[in-house]
Amino acid sequence: MRLKCSDAVRVTGLIAIIVLAATNGNVRAALGLQSGISLANLDRTCKPCADFYQFADGGWIKNNAIPASSSTWGNFSVLAARNRDVLHQILSSAETSKNPAGSNRQKIGDFYAACMNTAAIDADGTKPIDSLLALAGSATQQNLAATLTTLHGSGVDGFFNLGPGADFHNAALNIAQLRPAGLGLPDRDYYFSTDARTVQIRAAYVAHVTKMFQLLGDSAAAASAEAQAVMALETQLAQNTLGRVQTRDPASTYHKMTLADVQTLAPALDLPAVFAQTGLPSTVAVNVTQPDYVKALSAILAAAKPSDLQAYLRWHTVHAYAAALPSAFAAENFDFYSKTMQGVPSAQPRWQQCTGATDRTLGEALGQFYVAQTFSAADKARALAMVKNIKQTLRDDFSTLSWMSQPTRQRAVAKLDAFLLKIGYPDKWRSYTGLPITRSSYAQNLVHAAQFNSRDALAQIGKPVDRSRWGMTPPTVNAYYNPTVNEIVFPAGILQPPFYNSKADMAVNYGGMGAVIGHESTHGFDDQGRKFGPTGELANWWTPEDAAQFNARAQCVVDQWNQLSPEAGVQENGSLVQGEEIADLGGLTIAYKAFEKWQAHNPRRILDGFTPEQRFFLGWATVWASQTRAEAIALRARTDVHGYDKFRVNQTLSDMPQFDAAWFCKLGDAMYRPPEQRCQIW
């Protein structure tokens, strides 16, 4: 039997909570503790064992509508908005101050001021990118290599991307990576799926591209023909592109070749000419991530009419800079990519757009000021202590796994011990010397930034991997694991409430930030991460028996998620989200064990009527409180490797017997999953 939200909680559990909660107020008053839980966020009409997400977050959902300028709104968004307010204050001050020329403060202030000056943007028209549009509009098979080199180096997508990346079999060295690029729709499947929603999106996309050509001054008839040519060319590219699930296997995207090999495979790309123009030595190895795509692309380019190449490249040029062009371009870009694709009614206020753009473009320049205001040495020390505790707990856990043999266990521990930990902000800040930023043109600043970043990226090819670099800016509310560096990275932006609250009890902190740390740590051992060794090389360090055991346990996660539907007509793809959901389950399990270790040496207290174990799980649920528009749900189910937020709570917890024990769930409760049906890896 499945209990509804209105059914009674277990009587034994309720009695225990009432008895233990009797002194709750006195304990809090005496110790000055906060539980870290907002009682207003709860939905008391729903019982924990019926739908824990609704119980923990129903009040929050009721009281927090999605802003008109957002596709989703949750506690991640709330924290990001708080961080953005700090950045806005920094930028407003820099904008109005007299700053030394060439300083980071001058650059962030002038960049922000140029972005805010919509009158100047409208007056400039397309002037800042006219040279790029003209170059795109003169493309032929004969000059295509030179044309693409300049456009790629100026931030314009087209056909392929050439950049640095660690050699999977020598992770200390960056080699050239040749990847597919240049689709205007979010995923290859949008070009082929026949459901009504996708057919509508394809039609809207062609209409959008048509409108953008008209804004560039083309006649209605010419714009329509050009848009059809773009759609036909992109469809050909999509036909030869691997799907997202296929690329989850690292081996499927590693095909190391010489430059001569690539030229033989794809002569129309003329990659030797690209290398020569960018100054790359011809001896540098190239990883062609999708050889079949590159081979097909060569044939497509050789057969394409010059007018089709020109239409495609002009479209991708204006698309790259649409948000920085006059209001008609920006509005049309928003109308398709935000309103049509994600259901967002209104654009963000200009100051929010410009704050975000500054963070994306000058993230470590702006991030230095953010860190100085928000993230102390004590904050970093506390975060590092929690990371080390959870890392040690995972290390201990390896020794208890019945399904893992000793040889694999030893190698897993060696990999874990080799983790590079990055907390808060870089030890070595990025230099923006050589990047000109002025108040005269927002779009020109973006072009200069794209050129600066392209030069920086290409300069890394053939050189040792710089392990000090960060892939996120300090204010970012996120974290990541990088398998080729074997690092876990936690920006200052996420090391704040509700993830980590220095004034709250540690149960909630372990359920929030502890689970995030556990999540990123277990990414090193998910379906992708487990295929890389301690120094970042692609390596099979598992015995065949252990690999089979892991794959069977991972398939359990895939099968569970394949059964979930976040919205009518929308299905989760277990194969796509398995890495994140393996990390959710493993990370929360390890965080709980780390919390138990902490709790064993600290007083056991009831706060706000909840036991420490219950507060741990409330901490996990709290960070996932959110609402998402239906259009965005459909988009993310196709393209996002993360599952739906509600399922990240309920699905994960239903696999944990510790949750059942904390909330007294039993057979018949919706949150209870019989042991033989549970997934468990770590």
- Is pLDDT above 50 for 8? no
Amino acid at 165: G
What mean pLDDT do residues 470-489 have?
A: 98
The answer to whether the beta carbons of residues 126 and 216 sit under 8 Å apart is yes
DSSP letter (8 states) at residue 627:
E
The per-residue pLDDT for range 374-407, each reduced to its tens digit, is: 999 999 999 999 999 999 999 999 999 999 999 9
- Model confidence pLDDT, tens digit, residues 436-461: 999 999 999 999 999 999 999 999 99
Task: Give the C-alpha distances (Å, rounded to integers) separating 425 from 356, 487, 594.
Answer: 18, 14, 25
pLDDT category of residue 634 using cuts at 50, 70 and 90? very high
Burial class (CB in 10 A: 0-12, 13-18, 19+), 34: middle
Measured CA to CA in angstroms, residue 459 lies from 177, 280, 462, 657 at distances of 13, 8, 8, 51
Domain positions in the chain are 11-63+376-429+469-677, 127-324
pLDDT in tens, 527-546: 999 999 999 999 999 999 99
pLDDT band at 35 (very low <50, low <70, confident <90, very high): confident
- For the question of residue 645 being annotated catalytic, the response is no
Length, in residues, of the chain: 682
Structural contact between residues 617 and 36, judged by C-beta atoms closer than 8 angstroms: no
Task: Tell me how crowded residue 551 is: count the other CB atoms within 10 A of its CB.
Answer: 14
Whether pLDDT at 28 is above 60: no
Confirm if 432 and 106 have CB atoms less than 8 A apart. Answer: no
Mean of pLDDT over the chain: 94
CA of residue 596 relative to chain centroid, distance: 30
**Which CATH superfamily is 127-324 part of?**
Neutral endopeptidase , domain2 (1.10.1380.10)
The total of other beta-carbon atoms located within 10 Å of residue 18's CB is 11
Q: What is the DSSP string of 169-209?
A: TEEEEEEEEEEE---SSSSGGGGT--SHHHHHHHHHHHHHH
pLDDT digits 0-9 by tens, 135-165: 999 999 999 999 999 999 999 999 999 999 9
Q: Would you say residue 672 has pLDDT above 90?
A: yes
Candidate list 43, 51, 110, 520, residue with the active-site label: 520
Please state, for a pLDDT cut of 70, what percent of the chain lies above it: 95
Q: Which CATH architecture has domain 11-63+376-429+469-677?
A: 3-Layer(aba) Sandwich (3.40)
Within 13 Å and on the Cβ side, how many CA atoms surround 22? 5
- How many angstroms separate the CA atoms of 206 and 204, rounded? 6
Q: Tokens representing 619? A: 């901490």
Give the confidence band of 33 by pLDDT, cuts at 50, 70, 90.
low
Is 520 catalytic? The answer is yes
d(CA 623, CA 511): 9
Q: Among residues 526, 572, 584, 669, which one is catalytic?
A: 584
pLDDT(32) > 70: no
Instruction: Tell me the C-alpha distance between 435 and 446, whole Å.
Output: 10
